[in-house]
Amino acid sequence: MTIPGDEIGYDSRVEGGVVTSRLDAAINWVRGHSIWPMPMGLACCGIELMAVGASRFDIGRFGSEVMRFSPRQSDCMIVAGTVTYKMAPAVRRIYDQMAEPKWVIAMGACASTGGMYRSYATMQGVDRILPVDVYVSGCPPRPEALLDAFIQLQRKIAAEPSAKNLVPA
């Protein structure tokens, strides 16, 4: 685990084969390094998303190479492109079908704010229907920007009180 702020203490001379850690850190370590994306490619950002998945940029380095086209099997919806009002209910329904825990990345200007589409047909930011965790600027963003978004998301996941969330309040 290399995410800063984590507390994993290990001294082989004292503890032998035992690793002590917080349950949060262990859960978040697992979650943060196998974020299976739900590729919601709606416009040209989808093309950059494909580049991120291909060998040159290789999203597999961050454990997210398994693009799932089923919401039941994915953890993180990447909204890549212009969300029209006609498409918005479908986006929200797919998000609702994803199992918890789940995260959302708004990729690019359109998904974040409506972008250059100030018009009757375009939802002005997907955060009007989804809780967005990471916004990525760009039109479309470079693949590196999306990889950075994944690193940001890993940091965010590392700070979650996951063990507490396991127990119903």
Site residues (CB under 8 A) for other proteins?
85-86, 88-89, 92-93, 96, 114-122, 124, 128-129
Paired residues of 78 in beta bridges: 39, 105
The identity of residue 104, as a single letter, is: V
- The radius of gyration computed from the CA coordinates of the chain, to the nearest angstrom, equals 18
Shortest separation between residue 165's beta carbon and other proteins, angstroms: 22
Query: Residue 99 or 159: which CB sits closer to other proteins?
Result: 99
Rounded to 10°, the helix 143-158/23-32 angle is 160
Shortest separation between residue 74's beta carbon and other proteins, angstroms: 19
Query: Residue 25 or 132: which CB sits closer to other proteins?
Result: 132
Which ranges in the chain belong to alpha helices (H)? 12-15, 23-32, 45-53, 88-97, 108-113, 143-158, 162-166
The identity of residue 26, as a single letter, is: A
Phi, psi of 135 (to 5 degrees): -100, 135
Shortest separation between residue 138's beta carbon and other proteins, angstroms: 14
Shortest separation between residue 118's beta carbon and other proteins, angstroms: 4
- Cα–Cα distance for residue pair 112/57, rounded to 1 Å: 23
Shortest separation between residue 43's beta carbon and other proteins, angstroms: 15
Query: Residue 47 or 121: which CB sits closer to other proteins?
Result: 121
Query: Residue 25 or 130: which CB sits closer to other proteins?
Result: 130
